[in-house]
Structure 1
């Protein structure tokens, strides 16, 4: 028994074809939207590539760009098919194409759903990429004289100012690395030498942060050095001076920024997926209704359209049997190829006159 059977008159079939023609052209615009969203996300990731570790974070924008291009092609073809399906004589040209087209469109809409889900599951990969990238970028902050790293100081400073953040996880990350270049250290100073010797790795570590960590909303001049020493500054308590520097880490700030973008893109892609599913359902009804018209050979008659010709269980069993038979066919062909050389050997041993009387093993 057909699933979700609907009866169509000639007028309804014609109207359905016209509506689907319009919807397919709208779907071309949604394909352009998918492409644009993927391109926008790729550009946003590219902007911060210096503070991101190389990984699979580009998989989502690449997926959206690919799906967007495919959507434009498929829906352009779908518009042409639906326009011709308003005429029975023209439909006969697309009769054999429509079912493969519907199958390809179904796979395509599934890819759109996968792309939407990837937008919501990308957070963990993005967080790890930001953590590793920011860790290395901060470590090389001082290397302004080394080619390939000289831009990182400017990148980190602009990042901390723009996103109102400090460090990777927080401002204390700057306490654990030497972010001041040796070029700007007075090696004749006893204080500098003592600080270098006091560290096992010979690093110049200070309880201070770069100027880009300073909060311009602070009511007092920014305190960059001796942040944890209350006696080094007048009327100062580092536990209470939250406005002095940015407290949020740049990893969390960037993660929040990209998460908001990904949620917006994911919601848009889900809406596009629902729209594409509705168009696919309409095309399926049109295909089955026009198929019935061709069987009845009467363009003026009423015809039935459906989503599935049989029930869900019967359709699943039928498809499973096709897959099973394909597996058996491959197995038989493999066995036959293995037996062919043996057949030649037996023919050579026993001669042509004995081939007919000698039983030769074959695949059953």
Structure 2
């Protein structure tokens, strides 16, 4: 009687785990879509500013999230098939895929967190140099466009303040045509408006563009880290459920073999 009760209990647990795994797969797909979306959004929305950063950690974190999101789409389909068929080999493959994605997303989250810690120092060391030495120089068109967009989007002028431009290669050259700041510093851009640096004409923001860009990137690094680590924890839950399901199927096969 106890053996029959035990078999019924195992069957009940198997059914429950099967439905739980279906629910997990739905959450898995949603989480994967979030990961993929954040990765693409980061690269598309922030690509203009990537050329101003000294390291590629910010972009690498986004690419890792895109890779993880793509794997989730494939793995989610594999998980559904494995649960429906109740094949231990497919479930084992699914289990290892979950662990792989967990590691990938964890790496993205940790990279974002580490870069967040040293973002301020990097910008202080490199942004002013990048802006003053490379703006409007041959072969540096991407940086020029990024600086112009940065100053217009954040309504700022110069790395720390508008006086940073006085030592720039561009302002010191004949190309500037008498400008004291680039035209993108102007509140209303008109041809050669950068000749006058009065507060009524250009942006005078305390802290300059460094403060604005640092806050902007820091906010999005927190999103990358939170999404990466959050979905990675979801993967661990799925891996644990899958391992339990594989164990129950193994037990059922063993019990069936002893009959």
TM tier, shorter chain?
Answer: 0.7 to 0.9
Structure 1 counterpart of 2:106: 113
Q: Deviations over 1:124-151 (max 9, x none)?
A: 665537853553333344x4xx654568
- The match for 1:266 among 222, 225, 228 is 225
Name the counterpart of 1:278.
237
RMSD of equivalent CA atoms: 3.5
Aligned residue for 1:290? 249
2:129 maps to 135
Map Cα deviations across residues 290-332 of structure 1 (whole Å, 9 max, x no partner): 1111111179x9xxxxxxxxxxxxxxxxxxxxxxxxxxxxxxx
Match in the other structure for 1:175: 166
Q: Aligned pair 1:224/2:212, yes or no?
A: no
Equivalent residue for 1:166?
157
- In the alignment, the residues of structure 2 paired with residue 113 and residue 151 of structure 1 have an alpha-carbon distance, to the nearest angstrom, of 31
Instruction: Work out the number of aligned pairs and report it.
Output: 243
Q: Which has the larger radius of gyration?
A: 1
| Match of residue 32 from structure 1 | 33
CA deviations over 1:42-79 (Å, ceiling 9, x no partner): 11331224434463432101110111111221221111
Q: Aligned partners of 1:114 and 1:283: how far apart in 2?
A: 23
Cα deviation, 1:205-249, whole Å, max 9, x if unaligned, reads x9x545654679xxxxxx726x9xxxxxxxxxxxxx9x9722222
1:17 positional shift: 0.5
Task: Check conservation: 2:119, 2:214, Cα contact below 8 A.
Answer: yes
Corresponding residue number in structure 2 for 1:189: none
Q: What secondary structure does 1:280 align onto?
A: helix
Distance 2:142 2:100 in 1: 45
**2:68 maps to 1:74:** no
246, 254, 264: which one pairs with 2:213? 254
- Cα gap change, 1:172/1:20 in structure 2, threshold over 3 Å: closer, same or farther? same
Change (3 A) 1:126 1:42: farther
Does the CA contact (< 8 Å) of 1:214 and 1:245 recur in 2?
A: no
Cα distance in 1 for residues equivalent to 2:207 and 2:235: 41
| Cα distance change, pair 10–173 in 1 and its aligned pair in 2 (3 A) | same
Distance in 1 between the 2:141 and 2:22 partners? 56
Report how far residue 184 of structure 1 moved: 6.0
Unaligned runs of 5+ in 1: 1-6, 86-93, 187-205, 217-222, 228-240, 302-364
**Is this contact kept in 2: 1:52–1:131, CA < 8 A?**
no
Secondary structure of 1:297's match?
A: helix
TM-aligned CA deviation for residue 254 of structure 1: 1.0
The alignment's TM-score, normalised by the length of structure 2, stands at 0.76
